[in-house]
């Protein structure tokens, strides 16, 4: 950020990369926010000395822009009512379930929509204030879909990109939304609208043609004002080299061994790491694992399951219900199948720093990722990046975006418990040759397409769609 407070690259996301929290000693401090979005954008930000506009969680007002770990952060405040209606309501009670195949039932409330519009407008105004002349503004995710159009009206000079981190639904589902046209028009304020998968981009273009009536040709949309908007697929990735380096490090190796020992040194460890979200299929996966023990395929001396559930959206009713259900299930499984000092499932309701995650990935033999629907799922990619000895198995839902690239995983349908059990058992029994063959192929994919490549391809495409304006954005790749 320059001394005038304006920047050539501005990121707009609902969340800042850090959350305002109360530290153990009672004083206010900052902690890393959960979720894949933050993990993905941080390297791009660092390479460009950009400015990040977002909400730091909570209701604290009057937080000033500040620098954190080399990033310029602009905190946006939200009132209790806005959190209830914009964040918990329209974003996570309407859009989240609607965009995830109706895994839960979306609710449609007009006051939620009004708050969504108001909050999007405030974020757009803040971006307009911080972007320098001809700057690039990159808007992220479903909470901010109206920002591109609002920002375009305020600052026609800007180059605007939008990226959706979650799935974009098929037309039949999207059409339920009472404000479908406004959302489409909101997104069309961008020069480039990016999605995880080609199918999502195609859904969007078709909806624009049918619902807004603009002319389209393949991935291009022609607006009456002469602008052309492109919709494309940019599958997101991770800092693969960074994760591998961390996983190879001595402290992480030591910690991995410690965790295994604390688990009682079983022959095999299964691992799940997710935000505690109903889209992730945690319940079904724990049931499948427990049934394998109950059916006598192995016992708790042979294998245990470590499930990390990162607390998420705890004020939203469906998330509270899920937490209770998982608590009950884990209690029941451990009560029925565990032995003294050897629970079948080690359940951790907490978030962990990157180092601890890397240690978990390094110590686990079988990574289990079973969402009913997921935009990408970066945990699957992180696991692969950490397996530098070309071992370990990945069991992956075919409904996660990552399944498009990680074809050598054991792909499962999370609705099919018997199919999931068969895959878990196969992965458990696989020999080193089979594991090596699969893991080597997946590691090649991940190393060739990391988060820097993702960001660079989005930025290059954005510059190509709007070639005559805008300053160049530096590649995210580290030299």
* Residues in contact with ligand F6P by the rule CB under 6 A: 14-15, 34-37, 141, 165-166, 312-313
25 or 80, CB closer to ligand F6P? 80
167 or 272, CB closer to ligand F6P? 167
Burial class for 109, CB neighbours closer than 10 Å (0-12, 13-18, 19+): middle
* CA distances (Å), origin 150, targets 71, 242, 286, 288, 341: 25, 37, 44, 47, 58
Q: How far is the CB of 165 from ligand F6P (least distance, A)?
A: 4
49 torsion bin: left (phi>0), alpha (psi -120 to 50), beta (else):
left
Bridge partners for 274 per DSSP: 309
Within 10 angstroms of residue 325's Cβ, the number of other Cβ atoms is 13
Q: How far is the CB of 374 from ligand F6P (least distance, A)?
A: 9
Our measurement of the distance from residue 423's CA atom to the centroid of its chain's CA atoms, rounded to an integer in Å, reads 25
Q: How far is the CB of 57 from ligand F6P (least distance, A)?
A: 8
Q: How far is the CB of 312 from ligand F6P (least distance, A)?
A: 5
31 or 227, CB closer to ligand F6P? 31
36 or 93, CB closer to ligand F6P? 36
Q: How far is the CB of 310 from ligand F6P (least distance, A)?
A: 9
Q: How far is the CB of 287 from ligand F6P (least distance, A)?
A: 25
* DSSP-derived pairing of the beta strands 366-369 and 268-275: parallel
Within 8 A by CB and 6+ apart from 128, the residues are 151, 154, 155
Tokens of 120: 């999007």
Closest CA relative to residue 438, chosen from 392, 382, 400: 392
Calculate the CA dihedral of residues 410, 412, 418, 421 and round it to 10 degrees: 40
236 or 430, CB closer to ligand F6P? 236
162 or 298, CB closer to ligand F6P? 162
DSSP 426-440: HHHH--HHHHHHHHH
C-beta of residue 44 within 8 angstroms of C-beta of residue 455: yes
379 or 395, CB closer to ligand F6P? 379
Question: CA–CA separation, 144 vs 14, rounded Å?
Answer: 7
Q: Which helix (H) or strand (E) holds 205?
A: helix 198-207
Q: How far is the CB of 149 from ligand F6P (least distance, A)?
A: 19
Question: CA–CA separation, 375 vs 235, rounded Å?
Answer: 9
Q: How far is the CB of 34 from ligand F6P (least distance, A)?
A: 5
* DSSP-derived pairing of the beta strands 228-233 and 220-222: antiparallel
Classify 36 as helix, strand or coil.
helix
Q: How far is the CB of 376 from ligand F6P (least distance, A)?
A: 8
Question: CA–CA separation, 460 vs 347, rounded Å?
Answer: 43
36 or 148, CB closer to ligand F6P? 36
35 or 266, CB closer to ligand F6P? 35
160 or 166, CB closer to ligand F6P? 166
Residue nearest to ligand F6P (CB): 35
Q: How far is the CB of 74 from ligand F6P (least distance, A)?
A: 16
C-beta of residue 41 within 8 angstroms of C-beta of residue 16: no
Q: How far is the CB of 237 from ligand F6P (least distance, A)?
A: 14
Within 8 A by CB and 6+ apart from 458, the residues are 138, 161, 163, 192, 194, 234
141 or 405, CB closer to ligand F6P? 141
C-beta of residue 109 within 8 angstroms of C-beta of residue 52: no
189 or 401, CB closer to ligand F6P? 401
Q: How far is the CB of 83 from ligand F6P (least distance, A)?
A: 11
**Whats the size of the chain, residue-wise?**
479
């Amino acid at each position: 950020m320059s001394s005038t407070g304006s920047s050539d690259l501005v990121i707009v996301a609902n969340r800042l990369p850090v959350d305002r929290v109360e530290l153990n000693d009672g004083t206010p401090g900052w902690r890393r926010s959960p979720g894949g979005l933050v993990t993905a954008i941080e390297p791009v930000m660092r390479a460009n000395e950009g400015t990040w506009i977002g909400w730091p969680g909570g209701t604290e007002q009057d937080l000033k822009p500040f620098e954190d770990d080399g990033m310029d952060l602009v905190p946006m405040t939200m009132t209790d009512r806005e959190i209830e209606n914009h964040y918990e309501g329209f974003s996570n009670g309407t859009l989240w379930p609607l965009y995830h195949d109706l895994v839960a039932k979306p609710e449609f409330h007009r006051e939620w929509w009004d708050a969504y519009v108001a909050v999007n407008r405030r974020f757009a105004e803040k971006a307009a204030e911080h972007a320098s002349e001809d700057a690039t503004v990159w808007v992220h995710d479903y909470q901010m879909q109206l920002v591109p159009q609002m920002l375009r009206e305020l600052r026609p000079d800007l180059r605007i990109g939008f990226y959706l981190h979650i799935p974009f639904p098929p037309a039949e589902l999207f059409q339920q939304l009472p404000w479908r046209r406004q959302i489409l028009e909101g997104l069309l304020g961008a020069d480039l609208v990016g999605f995880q998968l080609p199918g999502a981009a195609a859904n969007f273009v078709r909806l624009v043609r049918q619902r807004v009536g603009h002319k389209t040709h393949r991935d291009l949309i022609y607006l009456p004002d002469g602008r052309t908007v492109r919709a494309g697929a940019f599958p997101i990735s991770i800092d693969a080299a960074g994760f591998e380096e961390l996983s190879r490090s001595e402290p992480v190796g030591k910690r991995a061994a410690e965790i295994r020992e604390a688990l009682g040194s079983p022959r095999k460890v299964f691992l799940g790491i997710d935000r505690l979200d109903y889209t992730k299929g945690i319940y079904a996966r724990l049931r499948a694992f427990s049934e394998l023990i109950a059916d006598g395929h192995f016992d708790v001396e042979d294998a245990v399951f470590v499930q990390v559930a990162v607390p998420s959206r705890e004020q939203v009713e469906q998330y509270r219900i899920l937490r209770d259900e998982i608590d009950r299930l884990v209690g029941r499984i451990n009560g029925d199948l565990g032995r003294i000092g050897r629970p079948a499932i080690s359940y951790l309701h907490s978030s962990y720093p990157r180092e601890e995650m890397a240690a978990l990935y390094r110590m686990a033999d079988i990574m289990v990722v079973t969402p009913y629907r997921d935009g990408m799922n970066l945990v699957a990619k992180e696991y692969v990046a950490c397996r530098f000895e070309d071992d370990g198995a990945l069991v992956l839902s075919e409904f996660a975006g990552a399944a498009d690239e990680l074809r050598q995983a054991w792909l499962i349908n999370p609705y099919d418990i018997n199919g999931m059990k068969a895959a878990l058992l196969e992965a458990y029994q696989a020999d080193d040759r089979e594991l090596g063959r699969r893991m080597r192929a997946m590691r090649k994919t991940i190393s060739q397409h990391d988060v820097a490549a993702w960001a660079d391809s989005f930025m290059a495409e954005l510059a190509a769609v709007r070639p005559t304006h805008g300053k160049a954005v530096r590649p995210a790749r580290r030299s």
